[in-house]
Amino acid sequence: MLVKDFDYPLRDELIAQKPVTPRDSSRLLMVNRDEKSVTDKKFTDLPSYFEKGDLLVLNDTKVYPARMFGNKLDTGANVELLLLKTTGSDIWEALARPGKKIKPGTVISFGGDILRAEALSDTEDGSKIMRLYPGEKSNTDIVIDLVHQLGELPLPPYITDGPKRDERDVYQTIYAKYEGSSAAPTAGLHFTENIFSELKSRGVEFAYVTLHIGLGTFRPMQTEHCEDHVMHYESYSITSETASAVERAKKSGKRVVAVGTTTTRTLEAVASENDGKIVPCSGETNLYIRPGFDFKVVDTLVTNFHQPKSTLLLLVSAFASQELIFKAYNHAIDEEYRFLSFGDSMLIL
């Protein structure tokens, strides 16, 4: 498969810069795989497509302020870091801009020397291994507290007029719980307490997985052929309660509805390693879902509209077929839906 075959013309004015208010007032494009049809709806219509016993699975990861602006200690040159993940100590994987000038041994100072980062090594995929530690003007030895103090909202680069530092909550789902992502699971941004209440009144059950979003989710494909792209590992966990809920839904013939591509990848990654079953576990996955993939768990998908030539677009094309997805996207463009992170939603039945 050629990456260029998953391209489409996305006009800048269709890229949502800010979320709608309230969250559930976004539009919803309903895509029916059996009928090969697309229908314009509102997100508030979502609960009407659920039945008693259906299981809604959501990613409860929480975004941390991963975007850091600093200066090289020796020259004062500006540097931007996007913190991807930590090993649990003060060692972090990060993307640096300008990356080529951040050699091993380079020290970056943040906040007037409240926090420092030393480049230790480069990874094969272009990211940096950094050691973060308090600077001379720090008032704490706890690195994560300094990151929270100095970090900015890690909005995608295509959002140029988005929410500011004091509006971080709009880039979190209302059920975000476990901090560790450098990007939000954006399909979940549409959900409100009102939507949850209506779903519960219909007898819908809820379960949660945790996948901390990093380079694996948003790294662009830079190869000619889709098959040559290599996914980056991201950490996940599934509890015994979630595993039991999924198995119960599958055995009773009810639908497992994944909210977002990260939820989908988590469920399918675990199932692919456990004979199609979901078991309580944690680990890392670089599962790459593209057309031809055999879905073992997910029956229905709630998702946003994704970037051209992205692995996320390949995932939804695998779920609904490339032909139907491009039919849906062309319709959404014609009807001026809002695209990408803060954009409108899609329900694939």
In a domain, 159, yes or no: no
Average pLDDT estimate for 25-41: 98
Query: What would the pLDDT profile of 316-325 be if each residue is shown by its tens digit?
Result: 999 999 999 9
In a domain, 156, yes or no: no
CATH of the domain at 238: 3.40.1780.10
* CA pair distance 242, 240, nearest whole angstrom: 5
Claim to verify: residue 321 and residue 302 sit in the same structural domain: yes
Calculate the CA dihedral of residues 263, 266, 272, 274 and round it to 10 degrees.
-110
pLDDT tier for residue 168 given thresholds of 50, 70 and 90: low
pLDDT tier for residue 215 given thresholds of 50, 70 and 90: confident
In a domain, 134, yes or no: yes
Claim to verify: residue 172 and residue 127 sit in the same structural domain: no
Quote the number of domains for the chain: 2
Q: Please say which residue of 122, 150, 178 terminates a domain.
A: 150
Q: Residues 212, 2, 216, CA angle at the centre, nearest 5°?
A: 10
Q: Please say which residue of 115, 150, 185 terminates a domain.
A: 150
Claim to verify: residue 282 and residue 200 sit in the same structural domain: yes
**% of the chain with per-residue pLDDT over 70:** 98
Average pLDDT estimate for 99-125: 93
Claim to verify: residue 111 and residue 238 sit in the same structural domain: no
Claim to verify: residue 174 and residue 281 sit in the same structural domain: yes
Residue 148: closest CA among 26, 62, 276 = 62
The burial class, CB within 10 Å (0-12 / 13-18 / 19+), for 252 is exposed
Residue 349: closest CA among 257, 271, 266, 249 = 257
pLDDT tier for residue 241 given thresholds of 50, 70 and 90: very high
Q: Do the bridges between strand 205-211 and strand 178-181 make them parallel or antiparallel, or are there none, so unpaired?
A: unpaired
In a domain, 157, yes or no: no
Query: What would the pLDDT profile of 134-144 be if each residue is shown by its tens digit?
Result: 999 999 999 99
In a domain, 276, yes or no: yes
**What pLDDT is attached to residue 165?**
62
In a domain, 17, yes or no: yes
Query: What would the pLDDT profile of 56-97 be if each residue is shown by its tens digit?
Result: 999 999 998 889 999 999 999 999 999 998 877 799 999 999
CATH of the domain at 143: 2.40.10.240
Claim to verify: residue 238 and residue 316 sit in the same structural domain: yes
Claim to verify: residue 100 and residue 217 sit in the same structural domain: no
Average pLDDT estimate for 143-148: 92
Tokens representing 347 are 């329900």
CB 192 within 8 A of CB 24: yes
Mean pLDDT in the chain?
94
Q: Which domain holds residue 286?
A: 3-63+168-348
Q: Please say which residue of 104, 124, 150 terminates a domain.
A: 150
Beta-ladder partners of 56: 206, 257
Query: What would the pLDDT profile of 14-23 be if each residue is shown by its tens digit?
Result: 999 999 999 9
In a domain, 195, yes or no: yes
Claim to verify: residue 144 and residue 283 sit in the same structural domain: no
Average pLDDT estimate for 303-314: 97
Claim to verify: residue 185 and residue 328 sit in the same structural domain: yes
In a domain, 158, yes or no: no
**What pLDDT is attached to residue 149?**
92
HEC states along the chain?
CEHHHHCCCCCHHHECCCCCCCHHHCEEEEEECCCCEEEEEEHHHHHHHCCCCCEEEEECEEECCCEEEEEECCCCCEEEEEEEEECCCCEEEEEEECHHHCCCCCEEEECCCCEEEEEEEECCCCCEEEEEEECCCCCCCCHHHHHHHHCECCCCCCCCCCCCHHHHHHHCCCCCCEEEECCCCHHHHHCCHHHHHHHHHCCCEEEEEEECCCHHHHCCCCCCEHHHCCCCCEEEEECHHHHHHHHHHHHCCCCEEEECHHHHHHHHHHHHCCCCCCCCEEEEECCCCCCCCCCCCCCEEEEECCCCCCHHHHHHHHHHCHHHHHHHHHHHHHCCCCECCCCCEEEEC
Claim to verify: residue 143 and residue 32 sit in the same structural domain: no
Claim to verify: residue 142 and residue 284 sit in the same structural domain: no
Q: What are phi and psi of 168, to 5 degrees?
A: -60, -30
Claim to verify: residue 192 and residue 301 sit in the same structural domain: yes
Please tell me the total number of residues recorded for the chain in this structure.
Answer: 349
Query: What would the pLDDT profile of 247-302 be if each residue is shown by its tens digit?
Result: 999 999 999 999 999 999 999 999 999 999 999 999 999 999 999 999 999 999 99
